[in-house]
Amino acid sequence: MKDFIIPWGDDRDMGTPAKQGAAVSLMIDGFEVTVPEGTSVMRAAAIAGIAVPKLCASDNLEAFGSCRLCVVEIEGRRGTPASCTTPVAAGMVVKTQSEQVKRIRKGVMELYISDHPLDCLTCSANGDCELQDMAGVVGLRDQRFEAPEGGMRTHFAARDTSGIANPEWIAKDDSNPYFTYDPAKCIVCNRCVRACEEVQGTFALTIEGRGFESRVSAGGVGDDFMASDCVSCGACVQACPTATLQEKSVIALGTPTRSVITTCAYCGVGCSFKAELNGDELVRMTPYKHGAANRGHSCVKGRFAYGYATHSDRILKPMIRETIDQPWREVSWEEALGFASAKMRGIQAKYGRKSVGVITSSRCTNEETYLVQKLTRAVFLNNNTDTCARVCHSPTGYGLGQTFGTSAGTQNFDSVAEADVVVVIGANPTDGHPVFASRLKKRLRAGAKLIVIDPRRIDLVKTPHIEAAHHLALRPGTNVAVVTALAHVIVTEGLFDEGFIRTRCDWDEFQEYVEFISDVRHSPEMTEILTGVAAEELRAAARLYAKGGNGAIYYGLGVTEHSQGSTTVMAIANLAMMTGNIGREGVGVNPLRGQNNVQGSCDMGSFPHELPGYRHVKGAEVRAIFEGAWGVTIDPEPGLRIPNMLDAAVSGQFKGLYCQGEDILQSDPDTRHVAAGLAAMECVIVHDLFLNETANYAHVFLPGSTFLEKDGTFTNAERRINRVRKVMAPRNGYADWEITQMLANAMLEAEGRPLWHYTHPSQIMEEIAATTPGFANVDYAMLEEKGSVQWPCNDANPEGSPIMHVDGFVRGKGRFIVTEYIATEERTGPRFPLLLTTGRILSQYNVGAQTRRTENTIWHSEDVLEIHPHDAEVRGVKEGDWVKLGSRSGETSLRAHLTDRVSPGVVYTTFHHPTTQANVITTDFSDWATNCPEYKVTAVQVGLSNGPTDWQESYEEQARLSRRILPAAE
């Protein structure tokens, strides 16, 4: 395979953004070029292959016209216009090179260089500096401006020419852990400031002062980068043409010499990155401009937080132990796999075929996930497979499957640029899906309206140049009541799209639905008392969504992780169908997926009731496909889901688990119950990068490989299949798909059955394509050529499917489903009067196993409890106090943060740190349809405490003991 070749397109900077419009032809340096109307002369020249010198222009930013290096001559026009700010015109004749413009450019460069240090050889941007390049291009051979004796100052010398400290000189700011800001090297091109505004949308940077005093400044007076609003997305570093904003890794390691395009392994946005290396040493990750999910943008996690891959905590050798109170013993791969195989076979012989199972990873590749579910179905011969989607988006699968006929978001991310009204429900994109959030914010700044439905005042509600038209701050657990009330308003006020419903949905079913939804019990006036959302506000939001143009809904785990998670998903689908907001650009229903490959792990048949492609195991014709491919008989009955596995373990029927790349002890609800389940098992095989919390209960540890160390594909939240490319050899010796294959073969060999013989993940993808209709036309050669493709990709959709349900729903007619609000059994009362809801933060990811092992901890070193000042005051809690958080499941302690982001009666925390273990608090209540845990509603009490609870201390001690590793035998 062509693993080390940048496979498609070129990533030249075209100077200014692409435009759409009628074709315009012009002559540039004697070549005819035809471009869309509105294109700049600079971009037109670039398209013709002519690079006009530039410094302040970049094709991800609007033209600025400040550096004057890109001047050209245009016949019939006076002077020398800047090519970046001059749009093309029909018949225009442009000369990009003439004596006059050459003289001007040289003069401009001479002035720039007169205030720039000439330490190029030792500069960290040496070889990667546009200023250096431009000095070369214009042929600058000398600069005549010398500071005279007696005190003239530059910006780059610490002392002026008389030897006195130079007040214009500002020391390097290295407060950010990942990059430095060196004002001495700044040419004030404004690219960083514009990137922070236009690309990221944070507005943390500005230019302070005017003329010679102009300086890039983060935050207010006296702030450094860390103290400012900077979210460390890297857009400014990416934009900087010099060494002013520079990755610390480049300063330390040197400029990279080769790059490989791959896909980020953090959230479900699935950004494309260039892994830039020297040899096999990773120097930096930079966002790939042709990545269709991220369009050249990144966040702090994908851009910078990859250090976990080489962290000293990483386990690189297989380990085993007989019992979990023993220390680990490092062994050979052969011994570890033999041990695991014997244990699992022994358990099956003793307790039955169904006494073991697997948990597939939403962090691993499609190919790896496919193999793990194949392991249980074709080697263990049962359907006991589940994945972390169980605890996040399983209600999406059920709800969208029932209403639309398929379990996936309907749009691509590009679609948001066409939305007029965006509804964000139970999601916090600026923290959870930051690159999508930047694209959303760009659209909102351009005038789209925003409705936020969330108990908490998330950042999007009010952020620079953005303010939500409506924030429906509902009480946790009342989603169905709120979304159903929105539908009530749309139906009873006649705001629905009758034409769409008549042609695309079942009109008779809609009549039944109208009867249900029109009942006054669903009116916002009636639900206000339950939900806490003011009726008028809710009515206004409903009208805006129904009649405001293209309406797009984006939702997250605040929708799904409830007793009625699936019902809310169906209620959301109802809203989109009744307003005709399905099947074109700018609209749709879009689940924001948590982990990088949640979509893929669901697609790959990780659920116990579904074979790859969301086909129920009860279907004989579907089983026949896989029985033919695998040469086994597949169980026609559904297997166990994660909570069922744990319940069955506690009651003694489930005894062995292979868990790849998930940390269920930390991520799943009701920690004590999870621990009891794991402790009751006779063989727990953990396959991971680190000794995670689940490994405290494991008997076999198989060291995993990072996304940098293997080939494969991830499928992001927009159904986009992106290539993951091996940029270095696996430090543990094997890619994860190889390890699963070795485990399968150890068992198959012992049983005298035919072995697996995959030698490259592309062969696994061939098997997926051969067995799964939505992937029929997907192969690695196509991904090399196209870069990425969105499923379904088959003969009916050979180019993939950016938008779904265009001409009709996958299931035929869209189905309206009655969504009655049923309150969760989890209620507040005198003992537990507050409602806890949980979430995540920008700098940390999921259980934190990766991000806690990076410098990202500087932003979030511990989980804190957000509590409203009123609730804090009556409990005597002050900012930073240790508080005990207790529910009927358990209790933990953490520090309090007083904020009115949460309403009175609601508290909030994150679950990134095992020392807090927020999931000790969460309960075993779950979604009615899918058993997705109800993380978002737990009745709790908060009181002052002295520090960690006894439980936390005993947990820490147990974790410490269970992580002991015996020194290797000599």
Binds other proteins by CB under 8 A, chosen from 516, 756, 791, 911: 516
C-beta closer to other proteins: residue 153 or 354:
354
- What single-letter DSSP state applies at residue 843? T
Taking CB under 8 A as the binding criterion, the range among 114-122, 327-335, 548-556, 631-639 that sits at the site for other proteins is 631-639
Taking CB under 8 A as the binding criterion, the range among 46-54, 763-771, 820-828, 861-869 that sits at the site for other proteins is 820-828
At 179, the amino acid letter reads F
Ordered DSSP codes for 557-623: HHHHSSTTHHHHHHHHHHHHHHTT--SSTT-EEEE--SBTTHHHHHHTT-STTEETTTEETT-HHHH
> CA–CA separation, 225 vs 202, rounded Å?
13
C-beta closer to other proteins: residue 448 or 817:
817
CB of 647 to other proteins, least distance (A): 4
Binds other proteins by CB under 8 A, chosen from 648, 665, 834, 842: 648
CB of 635 to other proteins, least distance (A): 9
C-beta closer to other proteins: residue 229 or 820:
820
Ordered strands of the 258-263 beta sheet: 258-263, 272-278, 281-287
C-beta closer to other proteins: residue 532 or 639:
639
Q: In the block, which residue shows the tokens 């974790």? A: 959
Binds other proteins by CB under 8 A, chosen from 341, 644, 851, 949: 644
Taking CB under 8 A as the binding criterion, the range among 23-31, 128-136, 550-558, 816-824 that sits at the site for other proteins is 816-824
Considering the rule CB under 8 A, would residue 518 count as an interface residue with other proteins?
A: no
Binds other proteins by CB under 8 A, chosen from 296, 608, 613, 839: 608
Q: Using alpha carbons, list the distances in angstroms from residue 77 to 81, 141, 363.
A: 8, 31, 57
Neighbouring residues of 278: CB distance < 8 A, sequence distance ≥ 6: 253, 254, 256, 257, 258
SS3 at position 625: helix
Binds other proteins by CB under 8 A, chosen from 498, 512, 799, 953: 512
Contact 422, 443 (CB under 8 A): yes
> CA–CA separation, 557 vs 428, rounded Å?
9
Binds other proteins by CB under 8 A, chosen from 302, 409, 532, 639: 639
Angle made by CA atoms 777, 783, 784, in degrees to the nearest 5? 135
CB-facing half-sphere around the CA of 777: CA atoms within 13 A: 16
> CA–CA separation, 563 vs 540, rounded Å?
28
C-beta closer to other proteins: residue 207 or 650:
650
Taking CB under 8 A as the binding criterion, the range among 197-205, 443-451, 645-653, 682-690 that sits at the site for other proteins is 645-653
Binds other proteins by CB under 8 A, chosen from 13, 223, 820, 881: 820
SS3 at position 944: strand
Considering the rule CB under 8 A, would residue 613 count as an interface residue with other proteins?
A: no
Largest CA distance in the chain: 92
CB of 532 to other proteins, least distance (A): 23
> CA–CA separation, 502 vs 481, rounded Å?
26
CB of 928 to other proteins, least distance (A): 4
C-beta closer to other proteins: residue 311 or 616:
616
At 254, the amino acid letter reads G
Binds other proteins by CB under 8 A, chosen from 197, 528, 647, 866: 647
C-beta closer to other proteins: residue 517 or 739:
517
Query: Phi-psi region for residue 357, left (φ > 0), alpha (ψ -120 to 50) or beta?
Result: beta
C-beta closer to other proteins: residue 101 or 929:
929
Residues 561-580 that bind other proteins (CB under 8 A): 563, 566-567
Contact 693, 677 (CB under 8 A): no
Site string for other proteins, 338-377 (x = CB under 8 A): ----------------x-----------------------
Count of beta carbons in the 10 Å neighbourhood of residue 833: 13
- What single-letter DSSP state applies at residue 918? G
Is the bond preceding 792 in cis, omega lying within 30 degrees of 0?
Answer: yes
- What single-letter DSSP state applies at residue 690? S
Contact 94, 26 (CB under 8 A): yes
Binds other proteins by CB under 8 A, chosen from 463, 923, 926, 952: 926
Contact 404, 411 (CB under 8 A): no
Binds other proteins by CB under 8 A, chosen from 118, 158, 164, 822: 822
Which H or E run includes 786? helix 780-786
CB of 680 to other proteins, least distance (A): 12
Ordered strands of the 23-28 beta sheet: 31-36, 23-28, 93-95, 73-74
Provide the β-strand partners of residue 260. Answer: 275
Considering the rule CB under 8 A, would residue 924 count as an interface residue with other proteins?
A: yes
Binds other proteins by CB under 8 A, chosen from 616, 831, 960, 964: 616
Binds other proteins by CB under 8 A, chosen from 929, 937, 940, 942: 929
Contact 412, 548 (CB under 8 A): no
CB of 411 to other proteins, least distance (A): 28
Taking CB under 8 A as the binding criterion, the range among 227-235, 641-649, 913-921, 945-953 that sits at the site for other proteins is 641-649
- Phi, psi (deg, nearest 5) at residue 11: -115, 45
C-beta closer to other proteins: residue 566 or 893:
566
CB of 225 to other proteins, least distance (A): 50
> CA–CA separation, 494 vs 314, rounded Å?
60
Neighbouring residues of 521: CB distance < 8 A, sequence distance ≥ 6: 527
C-beta closer to other proteins: residue 119 or 637:
637
Taking CB under 8 A as the binding criterion, the range among 31-39, 139-147, 519-527, 923-931 that sits at the site for other proteins is 923-931
Number of residues that bind other proteins (CB under 8 A): 33
C-beta closer to other proteins: residue 602 or 735:
602
Contact 50, 28 (CB under 8 A): yes
Q: In the block, which residue shows the tokens 């430095």? A: 180
C-beta closer to other proteins: residue 159 or 618:
618
Binds other proteins by CB under 8 A, chosen from 244, 361, 373, 383: 383
Considering the rule CB under 8 A, would residue 478 count as an interface residue with other proteins?
A: no
Binds other proteins by CB under 8 A, chosen from 65, 928, 944, 959: 928
CB of 638 to other proteins, least distance (A): 5
Compute the residue count for the chain: 970
Sign of CA dihedral 912, 917, 921, 923: positive
Residues 694-753 that bind other proteins (CB under 8 A): none
Residues 85-124 that bind other proteins (CB under 8 A): none
Pairing of strands 891-898, 864-867: parallel
> CA–CA separation, 114 vs 112, rounded Å?
5
Taking CB under 8 A as the binding criterion, the range among 409-417, 453-461, 646-654, 840-848 that sits at the site for other proteins is 646-654
C-beta closer to other proteins: residue 629 or 822:
822
Paired tokens of 105: 């450019």
Considering the rule CB under 8 A, would residue 653 count as an interface residue with other proteins?
A: yes
At 499, the amino acid letter reads G
Paired tokens of 39: 């294109």
Taking CB under 8 A as the binding criterion, the range among 456-464, 529-537, 636-644, 727-735 that sits at the site for other proteins is 636-644
Paired tokens of 583: 């099947």
C-beta closer to other proteins: residue 633 or 651:
651
Where do contacts with other proteins occur on this chain (CB under 8 A)? 354, 383, 512, 516, 563, 566-567, 608-609, 616, 618, 637-641, 644, 647-648, 650-651, 653, 817-818, 820, 822, 825, 924, 926, 928-931
